[in-house]
């Protein structure tokens, strides 16, 4: 029986492909041909076989469908021993499971049919994750360390955004709009909930309808009645109300 260990920088990354559709497995295998560091050590089409192969072969990387016979993809992960948990990339035709996949510590979530560019980015992320882990002093099971991701579906794709990428967030009715430079995404979520989730990652409420990443603030310009114009590094201007000024003062550790 193999003992799971993290691949070193020059070692092959051992991958399993789990999908009940042969053509889908063929597609993954074809896309992996341009990634010489990835070694496919097996494939199967049902959850029970997948569980046995993970236990026996100790893969580093798993391409996993969700709706498979015997055990679905989530059940496979739930029954996998923590010390044997590989990096997981979901590869599925169903977008409604994205948030659950995120909660299950998936590194990425690819929707079928997946174009080559999107697939390459996912594999590069997996290689980076495994390379980063290989530098740690001990071989440890991969776990999700960046608990700051937000899952957004837009244009038929699913995006995993990290807190450090986000400039600011504004409330829009029952939704919020998340701004990353010139790009923005609409998410059905309350600003209050995001404030709680992102507070540990340097986000501050500066208005009843606005959260801002403190690291993105360039300067403050006083207005009137205790209000300020907050100018971000990309030139975006946002109003900070007097009511929330103390929150920014607490975040930067000095009075404004």
Confidence at residue 97, expressed as pLDDT on a 0 to 100 scale: 85
Mean pLDDT of 50-59: 92
Write down all domains in the chain, each with its CATH number in brackets: 13-134 (3.40.50.2300), 161-252 (2.40.50.1020)
Query: Helix (H, G, I), strand (E, B), or coil: what is residue 86?
Result: coil
Dihedral sign, Cα of residue 173, residue 178, residue 183, residue 185: negative
Convert the pLDDT of each residue in 135-192 to its tens digit. 433 333 333 334 467 887 766 677 788 888 999 999 887 788 899 988 888 888 888 8
> Among 111-125, 134-148, 221-235, which is the least confidently predicted range?
134-148
- Whether 171 and 209 have beta carbons less than 8 Å apart is answered as yes
Q: What is the mean pLDDT of the chain?
A: 83
Convert the pLDDT of each residue in 6-41 to its tens digit. 555 557 899 999 999 999 999 999 999 888 889 999
Kindly tell me if the per-residue pLDDT of 86 is higher than 80: yes
């Amino acid at each position: 029986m193999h003992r799971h260990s993290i691949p070193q920088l020059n070692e092959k990354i051992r991958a399993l492909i789990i999908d009940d559709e042969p053509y889908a497995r063929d597609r993954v295998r074809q896309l992996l041909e341009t990634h010489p560091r990835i070694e496919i050590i097996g494939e199967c089409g049902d959850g029970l076989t997948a569980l046995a192969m993970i236990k026996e072969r100790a893969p580093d990387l798993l391409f996993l469908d969700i709706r498979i016979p015997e055990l679905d993809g989530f059940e496979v992960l739930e029954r996998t021993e923590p010390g044997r948990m590989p990096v997981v990339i979901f590869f599925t035709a169903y977008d409604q499971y994205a948030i659950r996949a995120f909660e299950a510590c998936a590194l990425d979530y690819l929707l079928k049919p997946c174009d080559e560019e999107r697939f390459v980015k996912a594999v590069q992320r997996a290689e980076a994750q495994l390379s980063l882990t290989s530098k740690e002093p001990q071989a440890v099971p991969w776990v999700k360390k960046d608990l700051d991701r937000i899952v957004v579906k837009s244009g038929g794709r699913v995006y995993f955004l990290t807190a450090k990428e986000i400039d600011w967030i504004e409330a829009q009715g029952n939704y919020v709009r998340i701004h990353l430079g010139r790009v923005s995404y609409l998410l059905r979520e309350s600003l209050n909930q995001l404030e709680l989730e992102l507070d540990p990652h340097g986000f501050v409420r500066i208005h009843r309808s606005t959260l801002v990443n403190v690291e993105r603030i360039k300067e403050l310009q006083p207005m009137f009645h205790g209000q300020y114009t907050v100018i971000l590094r990309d030139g975006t201007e946002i109003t900070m109300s007097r009511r929330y000024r103390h929150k920014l003062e607490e975040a930067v550790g000095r009075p404004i």
